[in-house]
Amino acid sequence: MTQITCPDCENTISANSDHCPHCDFPIREYLATTSASRPNPKSGIRLPNPPQHVIIQGLLIALTVLTVFIASMLYIAHRHKQRAPAKVPPTTPVEQPATDSGPS
């Protein structure tokens, strides 16, 4: 019979039991959700998914990159807006003068 460590109360229990006899932790359900179908009796059950702080760290990095990207895009857009009027004025249509002053 395989002995495993209960992830909740850390008591050594049978892997074949549905619930932990000490804390009533749903062992069978837990083993079904984890990738380790055959638990290692030496180290007990280990969660295969990464620790939460790693996920939060990744989210923070993604958020920082996104913020820098948006900021740079806004900066570029702002610079384009500032530069645009300098190029536009020459195309302003000059209204035809009332008095005819021909080239002479």
Q: Would you tell me which residues interact with Zn ion (CB under 5 A)? A: 6, 8-9, 20, 22-23, 25
Residue 4 burial class via C-beta count within 10 angstroms: exposed 0-12, middle 13-18, buried 19 and up: buried
Nearer of residues 29 and 56 to Zn ion, judged by Cβ: 29
Report the C-alpha gap between 31 and 36 in whole angstroms: 7
Q: In angstroms, what is the minimal distance from the CB of 46 to Zn ion? A: 16
Nearer of residues 11 and 72 to Zn ion, judged by Cβ: 11
Residues 52, 54, 55, 60: what is their CA dihedral angle, to the nearest 10 degrees?
Answer: 130
Nearer of residues 9 and 60 to Zn ion, judged by Cβ: 9
Q: In angstroms, what is the minimal distance from the CB of 48 to Zn ion? A: 20
- Quick one: tokens of 81? 């807006």
Question: In degrees rounded to 5, what are phi and psi of residue 90?
Answer: -55, -25
Q: In angstroms, what is the minimal distance from the CB of 63 to Zn ion? A: 37
Nearer of residues 8 and 34 to Zn ion, judged by Cβ: 8
Q: In angstroms, what is the minimal distance from the CB of 69 to Zn ion? A: 47
